[in-house]
Amino acid sequence: MAELGKVKARIEKLKAQINHHNYRYYVLDSPEISDAEYDELMRELKGLEEKYPQFLTSDSPTQRVGAKPVEAFGVVEHPLPLLSLGNAFSEEELIAWYNRISKLVGGQLSFVGEHKIDGLAVALTYVNRRLTIGATRGDGFHGEDITQNLRTIGSLPLSVPKEAPPRFEVRGEVFLPKVGFDKLNKERAAEGLPLFANPRNAAAGSARQLDPRVTARRPLDIYIYMLGYAEGRPTPSSHWETMEYLGSLGFKVNPNNRKLATIEQVSHFYDSWRERREDLPYEADGIVVKVDSLDLQGRLGDIGHEPRWAIAYKFPAIQGTTRLKKIEISVGRTGTLNPYAVLEPVAVGGVTIRKAALHNEDDIRRKDIREGDIVIIQRAGEVIPEIVAPVKGKRRGREKEFRLLEKIYDSKKKRPACPECGAEVVKAEGEVMYYCSNAACPAQIQERLEHFVSRGGMDIRGIGERLSAALFEQGLVRDVSDLYYLKEKDLLKLEGMAEKSVGNILGAIEKSKKTPLGRVIFALGIRHVGGEMAEILANEFSSLDELAQASAEKLIAITTVGPKIAESVTAFFKQKENRRIIKRLEKAGVRLKAEKIEAREIPLAGQEFVITGRLENFSRQQAEAQIRALGGSTKSDVTRQTDYLVVGAEPGSKLAKAKALGIKQISEEELLRLLEQKT
């Protein structure tokens, strides 16, 4: 009796926990635990109720499909219930399901495999070819009438061809593509609104807005996954053929669906997508396996609130919960100070996670993440773990709010300092990130080196990403000025370097000493100073030394130079290490003054270029810098004064405008040849 008492108490506790989490998830759109943890609670409860049926009650969460409809929406009664699916978490559980249903029907089965998309399940009723009702699953028997919201989804047909049955219902999954989810969260962050935890919450929240105009502004999509019922016209006898039929009526059917002849093919389908799930444009947490024959589906029927003829075969969890021990700071390759979380180790998707990404201090405050919190983590892209949200209900009162400047404060220098090099930390007006402005900071030297030698910068041919890394790793280059002190014997020590290639590199380094001032300024990698701004500064100041002495007020007085750029320029030249680098460049013979250019040295003088599309060999900024270095001008719009339109991959509307105006179009390869001929 005591044992039964413990079982009953455990069941009651599980029911209370699950009901709490259902409310947090479905009503508040604010989950406190990961999907895997929720599934584990449900599995334990279901297992206990099966073993001790005397404790199974009608109000148990296992007897419900979802959440009750929200009263703010009209309530729709489903003619046929929208059931939830049973789950398989291993191949053994999949095979056990297959064996059970095979015995019931006594024969070979074929299947259809589909992705289990994370979204909002809906039922759509069409009468006389028109969409009349769109409802959520709700509790499986009654859903919320969200017809007006669903009508805003562009991929959902509002009417169907005359070949359609007079009255029928289809069922589908409303979802938010990953790209749309990222964009939506960025917009919400900019407005200071709470971020959605995942695309599923975002899709559910978007589709269940009381104002359809809000829904219309969000990029929702939908895949139809089955025919609920049809009246007045015969329909196909298999699920696969039914989906093809619905596709012919204009419904969007997932192109990744597959017809699978055996259970072995089901396993292969699962394995292939488990490895490639991050390639999908939407979130999917597994596959759905359905018996293809509709007759066999009917014979198998339902058990409890689940169909026997279908099962969800779940991917390994990518979410979990653990304690955030502390927040530390790392310096990125571009100098940004990036907070990251140190976690109590937790296994997620077969990998032990000890650290997780945190975007920036503002995002940490927006999410209200604190040191000591229990947090939900997610393996983003199956590689980099990130913190989704804190579980505020588990706080103990000892959690500590994060302050970046306090974390990096140097008591000896009496100011915040870069954790890598101790240099001053800067945060430009209107930005969210702090960064180290030291060009010799060890954490960012390789990125700065690659930028310095790029075509738009000093244009030192032969030094790419691999050689940049080797020069740094071997201690030959600690800042960009070291390039001009390299010797032949230094380069010959590097793997794969021969005398000819070394000679070419040293020759390119020597040639770069005559680089025009504008490109030198750009090459230094001053934050917010792109190719065009570097040229503007070179035209205003006669030398790099004069620019270094300029005050923020003098810089702001220049047209197109705002406070952010002025602050970044002055911060750069304020750093002792940066001034040392510039002196070494000057000593090496690099031209740091603007020189009067003869007409013969500006062969593109008077010629105007516009670039459209994506360039492969260099960035648009770098291409424009090279054009301007040869005396040409660059503009953002095509006009009658444009001489050349450079057409890259996936060109925009500028191409049509250029054709209409009769402007000459050249390819990226033709631009490269033109620049090389004029050099």
Residue entry with tokens 């971020």: 195
Residue among 246, 335, 256 at smallest CA distance from 288: 256
pLDDT at 361 exceeding the cut of 80 = yes
pLDDT value, residue 382: 46
pLDDT value, residue 206: 80
pLDDT value, residue 67: 45
Q: Give tens-digit pLDDT for 63-117.
A: 654 444 444 567 888 899 888 898 898 899 999 999 999 999 987 899 999 999 9
CA angle (661, 665, 667) in 5-degree steps: 160
Other beta carbons within 10 angstroms of residue 418's beta carbon come to: 25
Contact 548, 582 (CB under 8 A): yes
218 to 207, 226, 556, 616: CA distances (angstroms): 9, 25, 39, 32
Neighbouring C-alpha atoms within 13 Å toward the C-beta of 468: 18
Q: How far is it, in rounded angstroms, from Cα 475 to Cα 296?
A: 70
**DSSP state letters, 107-171:** S---EEEEEEESSEEEEEEEETTEEEEEEE-TTSSEEEE-HHHHTT-TTS-SB--TTS-SEEEEE
Mean pLDDT of the chain: 85
pLDDT value, residue 194: 66
**116 is annotated as an active-site residue:** yes
Tokens representing 358?
Answer: 């945190």
Label residue 546 by pLDDT band (50, 70, 90).
very high
Q: Give tens-digit pLDDT for 422-436.
A: 888 888 766 778 888
70 vs 242, more confident: 242
pLDDT value, residue 59: 62
Most confident range, picked from 207-211, 251-255, 333-337:
251-255
Other beta carbons within 10 angstroms of residue 196's beta carbon come to: 22
Residue among 177, 122, 180 at smallest CA distance from 147: 122
408 vs 559, more confident: 408
Q: What's the whole-number mean pLDDT along residues 26-43?
A: 71
Contact 643, 607 (CB under 8 A): yes
Q: Which of 99-108, 228-237, 283-292 has the lowest mean pLDDT?
A: 99-108
Q: How far is it, in rounded angstroms, from Cα 62 to Cα 17?
A: 13
589 to 201, 510, 533, 586: CA distances (angstroms): 60, 9, 24, 5
267 to 91, 158, 429, 587: CA distances (angstroms): 7, 37, 54, 67
Q: Give tens-digit pLDDT for 132-188.
A: 999 998 888 888 888 888 888 888 888 899 899 999 999 999 999 988 888 887 777
Q: How far is it, in rounded angstroms, from Cα 27 to Cα 72?
A: 12
79 to 61, 158, 191: CA distances (angstroms): 22, 21, 42
Q: What's the whole-number mean pLDDT along residues 552-565?
A: 85
pLDDT at 121 exceeding the cut of 70 = yes
Label residue 599 by pLDDT band (50, 70, 90).
very low
- Domains in the chain: ranges and CATH: 2-63 (1.10.287.610), 74-314 (3.30.470.30), 320-396 (2.40.50.140), 445-588 (1.10.150.20), 599-678 (3.40.50.10190)
pLDDT at 521 exceeding the cut of 60 = yes
Strands, E assignment, 176-261: 221-231, 258-260
pLDDT at 462 exceeding the cut of 70 = yes
Indicate left, alpha or beta for 192 from its phi (over 0: left) and psi (-120 to 50: alpha).
left
Tokens representing 37?
Answer: 């943890």
pLDDT value, residue 66: 44
Most confident range, picked from 28-37, 237-246, 338-347:
237-246
Q: Give tens-digit pLDDT for 183-201.
A: 887 777 766 666 776 787 7
Label residue 349 by pLDDT band (50, 70, 90).
low
Residue among 631, 626, 628, 629 at smallest CA distance from 602: 631
Q: What's the whole-number mean pLDDT along residues 658-678?
A: 86
Q: How far is it, in rounded angstroms, from Cα 364 to Cα 344?
A: 19
Contact 181, 380 (CB under 8 A): no
Tokens representing 235?
Answer: 């329909």
Q: Report the C-alpha dihedral over residues 176, 181, 184, 186, rounded to 10 degrees.
A: 180
Q: What's the whole-number mean pLDDT along residues 460-477?
A: 86
Tokens representing 264?
Answer: 């072995």
pLDDT value, residue 383: 52
Q: Which residues pair with 302 in a beta bridge?
A: 307
245 vs 532, more confident: 245
Label residue 29 by pLDDT band (50, 70, 90).
low
Q: Give tens-digit pLDDT for 395-425.
A: 989 999 999 999 888 888 888 899 888 888 8
Q: How far is it, in rounded angstroms, from Cα 260 to Cα 370?
A: 48
Helix (H, G, I), strand (E, B) or coil at 88: strand
Contact 204, 149 (CB under 8 A): no
DSSP character for 61?
A: G
pLDDT value, residue 65: 42
Q: How far is it, in rounded angstroms, from Cα 238 to Cα 277?
A: 27
Please tell me the total number of residues recorded for the chain in this structure: 679
Residue entry with tokens 């648009």: 620
pLDDT at 238 exceeding the cut of 90 = yes
Exactly one of 15, 46, 116, 367 is catalytic; name it: 116
Other beta carbons within 10 angstroms of residue 514's beta carbon come to: 10
Q: How far is it, in rounded angstroms, from Cα 412 to Cα 399?
A: 28
Residue among 291, 345, 351 at smallest CA distance from 318: 351
40 to 20, 36, 43, 314: CA distances (angstroms): 15, 6, 5, 12
DSSP character for 293?
A: B
Label residue 58 by pLDDT band (50, 70, 90).
low
pLDDT at 617 exceeding the cut of 60 = yes
pLDDT value, residue 152: 85
| Prediction pTM value | 0.49
pLDDT value, residue 175: 93
**DSSP β-ladder status, 319-331 and 374-380:** antiparallel
Label residue 654 by pLDDT band (50, 70, 90).
confident
